[in-house]
Amino acid sequence: MKFDFDVVVIGGGHAGCEAAHAAACLGAKTLLVTSDMNRIAQMSCNPAIGGIAKGQIVREIDALGGLTGLITDACSVQFRMLNRSKGPAVWSPRAQCDRTRFIDEWRRHLDATPNLDIFQDTVNQLIIENREDALPRVTGIVTSLGVKFSAKKVILTAGTFLNGLMHFGETRIPGGRISEQASYGLTEQLVKLGFTTDRMKTGTPVRIDGRSIDYSKTEAQQGDDKVAETLDGTLLVERDFHKFSFVPESHRTLRPRDCYIVYTNPESHSILRENLNRSPMYNGQIHSIGPRYCPSIETKIVTFPDKENHQLFLEPEGETTQEFYVNGFSSSLPWDVQIESLQQIEALRDVQVYRPGYAIEYDFFDPTQLTHDLQTKLVEGLYFAGQVNGTTGYEEAAGQGLMAGINAARSLRNLAPVILGRDRAYIGVLIDDLVTKGVDEPYRMFTSRAEYRILLRQDNADERLTPLGREIGLASEERQQWLDTKLEARQKLLEWCSRHKMKLSGHNNEILAALGTSPMSASTSIADLLKRPQISFSRLATLYAPLSEQIEKIELLRRSEIVESAEILIKYEGYIKREREVADKMTRLDYVQLPAEVDYNSMTALSTEARQKLTRIRPATIGQASRIPGVSPADVSILLLLMNR
C-alpha cells in the first residue's frame, strides 16, 4: 500500500478524472480519491456531452490528449452537429450517451493508466505546512476514515459535494447528489486559511419510464448518424461521420436512439404556478444563485408569464434502458407537483416516474483567488478545478481538470505552466474569464464569450492544440502523425482547388446553373467557385467529375473531415485572416508582464475601482488586467506608461 504521492486529486467527477489521468500520464505518482468508485465520471444531470461551445471544449480536450472525447464516442447513442444553419464558427458537436457505459469506459481507462491509483473515501482535511517567509504549502490529505496520504500537489475537484444540500420541495436531504453523502470540513478549513466562499444552486430534472410515454404524441428528433442493418441484424454505423475524437479509429459501436420533443401547456403551468409557495426557489428556502441559462421550470413560468408552452426533450439514458431524462423540466418542487404537472402533457398522461427532480446547494470558491494555472494564491501546491470554481457543466469541469492536472505535474519538475490564450482555445477563454472576472452566477461557456470564435472552431482544435499536447508529453506521437497526414492531404486538396480551373463552356455553365449560381464569364478556379454561397464541395463534386476524382483520392477514414476543413478555409479565408490580425494585436498586451509586488494603491492616476480590483486579483500581465471588470482602457494606458511601454 502506497501513502506517498506526487499529486492527489480529490473528487472523481469529470474534472477529477481528467486531472488524474493527465498528471499520471505526465509521470506524476497520482492518487484519485472518490467517494464511490462505481460512480466515477457520473453524469449527475443530463446524459449528454457537448453542445453550444461545450462541444468545442471537448474537442480541445481530445486534441491535447485528454479522454472525454474518446470515451464519449464509445458511449454515444446519438450524435448531432448543432448550429449547422449558421457559420462554422458556431458549429458545436453534441452526443447523447449511455450513462452506465460512460462510467465503465472511464473506469477502464483509469485502471489502465500507469502511475495512477484510486482510493474510495471522502476527504475532510488538507495537511498544510505553515512557513515563516513563504505561503503555506499543502503536503497531503486526511480522509474521513483517518487515512493520511502525503502529496506535493493537491487538486480539489469536489463538484457539488462541499456541504451539499438537496431540496425536494419542503424536504431537505444532505448530499452531493441523490443517494450520495456530502463532504464536510474542507470549506471550513479553507475559510480559516483566508479563502472567500459562497453558495450556488443547480438542479436536475425528473427521470421517467419510457414505456409510459405515448410516442404518437411526440416529435421524434433523430441524430446525424447514417446507419444500416444487415439481414442478420448486424449494425453498420458509417465510419465517415462527425465525432468528438480526432483519433481515426475512434468510432461508434452502440445502436443509435432517437430523442423526442414535447411541450408544456397552460394546464401544466397552472399546477406549477399554484404551488410556487411550495418551491424552495420562491418560499425563501433557497438563497443561493442558480444557473441563468438552465433555469428550473418554475423559474421559466415566472420569468415568461405570457408564454403558453415550453419545449421539453425526452432523452434516453442509454442504449437499452427505458429511463428517460426530461430535459427542460428541472425542478425543486415537491414530487407530487412535478408528476401532476407532467400528466397534463398529452404524451405523458400515464407517466411513470423513476425519481423526481431536485435542486442542490453547494459551496464554491471565488475563482479570482487562483492564478491562470489554476493554483490558489493563498496555498502553494493547491489547485481548484470544476464546479468548486463556480462553473456548471461536465465540459467546463473536464477542461479545467485537464489543465490543473497538466500544470500540477509540470510544477513538480519546475516547468513553466501551460496557459492557453483566448485566441488559442475555449479552455483558455474559460479559465481567463474565471480568474480575471470571477463569477456571480454559475458560469457556462457560450460561443459569444469568445471574441475570436472564427479561430476557435470545433474542426481545427487538433491543429491548434495537438502540437502543444505532443510537446508537453500528453498527446501521443501517433496522434501527431495522424494530424500531419490530415494536414498534408488537406493542403494537396487546397492547392488543387487553387490551381485547377473550370473551363468556360456551355456544359460547365449548365452545371453552375443547376447549382443555382450565375454562369462564368471566364475560366475560374475551383477555389473561387467554392467561395460562392450556393456551391459546396459535395454539391459541385456530384456534377463535376474532376473534383469528385480528387476527393476520392483522400483516405476514406478521414475524407469527410478533410473536405469540410478545406471548404471552411476557402469560404472563410478573409474572415479568418482578419480575425487573426486582430487577435495578434490584442494578445501583445499579454506579453507585457506586471511585477507581482507592484503597489497599485500608490498609483493615484488609476481609478479607485481599478486600484481595488488590481490589488485583489493581481493580474500577471497587462492583457489580463485589461479584461478585469472595472479596469477601463484609460487605466490600461496608465499601466502601460508606468511600465515604460
Across-strand partners of 8? 31, 154
Q: Output phi, psi for 48, to 5 deg.
A: -145, 155
Burial bucket for residue 361 (CB in 10 Å: 0-12, 13-18, 19+): buried
Low-confidence stretches of the chain (pLDDT beneath 70): 225-241, 645
pLDDT of residue 69: 97
- Segment (H or E) for 279: none
Measuring CA to CA, how many Å separate 161 from each of 69, 105, 150, 183? Answer: 25, 23, 22, 5
Alpha carbons within 13 angstroms on the beta-carbon side of residue 54 total: 19
Instruction: Name the residue with cell 480541445.
Output: 60
Amino acid at 23: A
pLDDT of residue 294: 84
Cell of 618: 493581481
Degrees, nearest 5: CA angle 323-328-333: 85
Degrees, nearest 5: CA angle 71-74-78: 110
Furthest C-alpha separation in the chain:
86
Pair type for strands 382-384 and 311-316: unpaired
Per-residue pLDDT of 497-513, as tens digits, reads 999 999 999 999 999 99
Average pLDDT, the chain: 93
CA dist 380 and 382 (Å) reads 6
CA dist 540 and 534 (Å) reads 10
Amino acid at 29: K
pLDDT of residue 230: 46
DSSP state of 60: H
125 Cβ neighbours under 8 A, 6+ residues apart: 141, 142, 185, 186, 189
Which among 84, 141, 107 has a CA at the least distance from the CA of 36? 107
pLDDT of residue 227: 54
CA dist 611 and 178 (Å) reads 44
pLDDT of residue 233: 52
pLDDT of residue 597: 86
pLDDT of residue 373: 98
Angle of helix 559-571 relative to helix 573-587, nearest 10 degrees? 80
pLDDT of residue 367: 97
Sign of the torsion angle spanned by Cα atoms 431, 437, 442, 444: negative
Domains of the chain in sequence order: 4-158+366-449 (3.50.50.60), 205-358 (2.40.30.260), 477-574 (1.10.10.1800), 592-642 (1.10.150.570)
434 Cβ neighbours under 8 A, 6+ residues apart: 367, 368, 370, 389, 390, 391, 443
Per-residue pLDDT of 386-414, as tens digits, reads 999 999 999 999 999 999 999 999 999 99
Cell of 542: 456530384
CA dist 606 and 139 (Å) reads 40
DSSP state of 253: -
CA dist 104 and 112 (Å) reads 12
Q: Report how many helices (DSSP H) and strands (DSSP E) the chain contains, helices first.
A: 21, 23
